[in-house]
Structure formats: C-alpha cells, structure tokens
Chains A and B, each alone.
Chain A
Amino acid sequence: MASTIRVRAVAHGESTEVQSLIQHPMDSGFVKDKDGKLIPPHYIETVTFDWNGKRVFTAFWGPAVSKDPYLKFSFKGGKKGDTLKIGWSDNEGKSDETMATIL
C-alpha cells in the first residue's frame, strides 16, 4: 500500500529540515459538488512528527489548509540514517502513519 505521506528529511549540520506532503482532500465543507450538493468537511486535524521517540512537531489544522497539505520545518538534532515517524488523523477518524529515513 502506498502511503498517503511523502516525507523528505535532510540533515544539515546540526539541524534537520523536514518537508512533507500528505495526500488528503481537505474538504472545507463550503464547496458544492457537480450536483450542487455541499461536500461535507473532511480535513486533517492533527499531524505529528517524532524523531527518536521525541515529538519534534505537532500541527493542528482546520479546513482552511490546502488540499494535499505541504509542511516544512526544521529541528535541531537528527543525523543521516535516523528514523522519523510521521502520523496524521482527520475529522472522520481516519489516520495514517509512516517512517522516513533522514538523508
């Protein structure tokens, strides 16, 4: 199964830069489908990043985050070969999780 999460984490000296792209519709609840019916809100609420069991980033999102959300941040520490765990959960209770190796 292909993951919904794509991550690129690169160690630069003392810090690691993380970029992630998650496949998700992020429906706002304000958009109508072709039959004129409102598409119900469906969006990621929480995204977490863990490195060596330490939480390095938490994002809380609302429906105003764009479809297939992109995120970039950096944290101190992390070296080539370390593992980063990324997980998300949405307002319908769906979730996904993946592991990425720091480059």
Chain B
Amino acid sequence: MSRVSIVTPAALALERRLVLQFLGVGSLAATGLASGFVPLARAAEQSLAWPKNAFAQKNEAAALAALFEKPIVVPSDKVSLDVPEIAENGAVVPVSVTAALPNVTAIALLIPENPFTLAACCQIPEGTEPAISCRLKMAKTSDVVAVVQADGKYYSTRKQVKVTLGGCGG
C-alpha cells in the first residue's frame, strides 16, 4: 500500500475512481496526511502521484535522488537533447529529448540554475516512444539535463543554453 500513500490531493481529483478501488473512503483522510514518498522508479508502472519531494529540490543530485531510486547516472550519447544554443526568451525554451535505448520508462528534464532543479518528468509506458518535446522556462544561462531511465539504469545528456532574458523572475 506504500504506493497509495503518495497519492496527492490533485491526483486524487483526477483519478478518484481508481483510488476508491484501493481505499475505503475513511482512509482517504489518512492518505492526505501521509508524507512518505516512494521514488518514481519503484512506482513507475502506474503511479499517478506527482513527485512533490523531487520538484522541491534545489540541486541536481538531490532532485535525481528524490525522483529515482539510488540513481547512478552515466553520460550517454544514446540520449540526444535538442535545445537552442541561445534562448532570447527564457520563458519559452523548446526542448526535445530522444533516447536510442530499449525499455525506456522515464525521461526527466532538469535545469540546475533554476530555483527548483527538476522541470519535468515523463513516464514512458511500454509501447510509447522514448521521444518527447516540450517548452521550459529558464531563469538564466544553464545546462539543460536530460536523464533517461531505461532497464532500471540511468543515462544522461546535458547542453548549455545561453539565456539573454530570464523566464522565471519576470
């Protein structure tokens, strides 16, 4: 039941029906109080819990440790990261990640110079291609780090983006 204990109120709103299959209504209150956090890796299969602890971290190692279970991250050219060299507007930085690896289960995007390091984390179920594109905010010039979880191992690629106008402080 440890997985259930990390369901956030927001996730409950979205998947109340699913949760009710697991819990009696009475234990919902207890769920809200529980602060235990299970790393994403352990709950990767069908977790719906937003990894609150990981998003609160202010450096790369802490964010990864909160997100994954004992991650040993190795740089890999199998992970390709497509970011602009210079971003004129840090509020909208297009980021694409593609992993040429089998059995990818998650892709995380981190921006170490932002106030909070972790920007986004996507779960890739079986059958979904390990390639995503999105747009992120950058406070200032920073590396963008893509970490891919594949077969329980972790691979990363980083690239610096020069930001001329920050996107977090306005």
Interface residues, chain A, with chain B CB atoms under 8 Å away: 15, 26, 28, 30-32, 45-46, 48, 54-67, 69-77, 87-91, 93, 95
Contacts and interface: CB of A to CB of B under 8 A. Distances in A.
Nearest to A76: B127
Nearest to B122: A59
Contacts of B133: 70-73
Given A28-B168, A30-B170, A46-B14, A64 B48 contact: no
Given A58-B48, A63-B116, A45 B8 contact: yes
A97 to B, nearest CB: 8
Main secondary structure, interface of A, reads strand
Interface residues of B, number: 44
30 contacts: A28-B168, A30-B169, A31-B170, A32-B170, A45-B8, A45-B50, A46-B48, A55-B46, A55-B125, A58-B48, A58-B122, A58-B123, A60-B55, A60-B122, A60-B123, A62-B55, A64-B111, A64-B114, A65-B135, A66-B91, A66-B134, A66-B136, A69-B134, A70-B134, A70-B135, A73-B129, A74-B129, A76-B129, A77-B127, A93-B13
B125 A73 contact: no
B150 interface: no
Contact of A75 (B55, B129, B137): B129
Interface string B1-44: 00000001111011000000000000000000000000000000
Given A60-B121, A61-B120, A65-B134, A31 B168 contact: yes
B118 to A, nearest CB: 6
A62 B129 contact: no
